[in-house]
Amino acid sequence: MTRWPRQFGVGDWDFGVDNGYLRGLVGYWRDGFDFEAAAQRINSIPNYLTVIDGLPIHHLHSRSAEGDATPILLLHGWPGSIVEFLEVIPKLSEPREAGKESFHVVAPSLQGFGGSPGIDEPGMSPIRIAHRIASLMEELGYERFIVHGGDWGTLVATHIASLYPERVLGLHVTLTHPIPPADVPDPMALVREHELKWLEENEFNAIDGRGYFEIQKTRPETLGFALTDSPVGWCAWVLDKFHQWTDCERDGTKDIRNAVSWDLFLTNLSLYWFTDTISSAMHFYREQYLALRSGQGTAGKVMVPTGAGIFPQEILKSPKAWMERRFPLVHWTEHPAGGHFGAMEQPGFFADDLREFARKIGG
């Protein structure tokens, strides 16, 4: 029943998603994708709903066989989900390699995403979500834990680390905001040569790839009518981000399958679709915008050990020296491959980096 727009351009994605590529992906979603198999893959990791203040939080929870293992909390962003961590979780909680320590792993759906329903009024701000997830960890019996965040998960994880320093063993992130230190006469003098390209890429993404952000922070409900009504529209909206944000270019051609399989992409896409959380997830952008306007959107100072795993195609990358002046940085890795969805694209690199960070901080 889709009303397709006319074919446009030569397929270089300069004006947006390529018509032919999208038709092929949608055709596979309709006739080839096995959602029952995808659901079984999600359910291969124990799923739970825990009610906090009358509202459930969905989470994956894989316990290590070692009772005294360190808990690790994994936080996703938009348009990702717990699907980002499906391959990482077993690597951390049930490592097959001899001699590798295991962890208790918790991966919640952020409120309004996937299995965690949103609310019917404004107020589910990132800092409120941070408090709720900290309460979830307490309910699960984890008084102290490591927290990782990517994309919006970075903000929520940073809130948790700053609000609950006595409970957070360490903060690990993959998205690093490039904020020049104010107490340095020439911040650019601290930037290493290869990091200059990072800053150029940051600027390009801000100019050429931020339209979605401005819409979602100002009128998420308006956009929600269109995307909730049209599976093809929703697919195009998310495909655009995966095409731009993943490390998917090979021999001069970009195809998301070079980074993430169509099956995994569609598992993530379908999770939003079947839980009717397309619109509520976009509220996160508006809530953070309103929180910043009220002076409550910026996370407080982080005092716990911090680590960063930098993937080359991440959309925001900070020079290391700038991060060292904002956080007690004890761990820094620059991965050879991967993009914005690092855990999804390079689960081996991601899991090894988290394990190395935990070793450094004694977790």
Closest to 172 (Cα-Cα) out of 338, 312, 355 = 355
Q: Identify the three-state secondary structure at position 129.
A: helix
pLDDT of residue 131: 98
Bridge partners for 253 per DSSP: 250
Cβ contacts of 3-9, under 8 Å, gap ≥ 24 = 4/232
Q: Which residues are catalytic?
A: 151, 285, 340
Ranges of residues in the chain with a pLDDT under 70 are: none
CATH, range 19-361: 3.40.50.1820
Determine phi and psi for 48, rounding to 5 degrees. Answer: -140, 155
The 3-state DSSP composition of the chain as helix, strand, coil percent (nearest 5) reads 45, 15, 40
Phi and psi dihedrals of 161, rounded to 5?
A: -65, -35
Q: How far apart are CA 264 and CA 275, in angstroms?
A: 17
How does DSSP classify residue 84?
G
- In the numeric block, the tokens 């982080």 are attached to 302
Res 98: pLDDT: 78
In whole angstroms, give the CA distance from residue 345 to residue 348.
Answer: 9
Predicted TM-score (pTM) of the model is 0.97
Instruction: List the chain domain ranges.
Output: 19-361
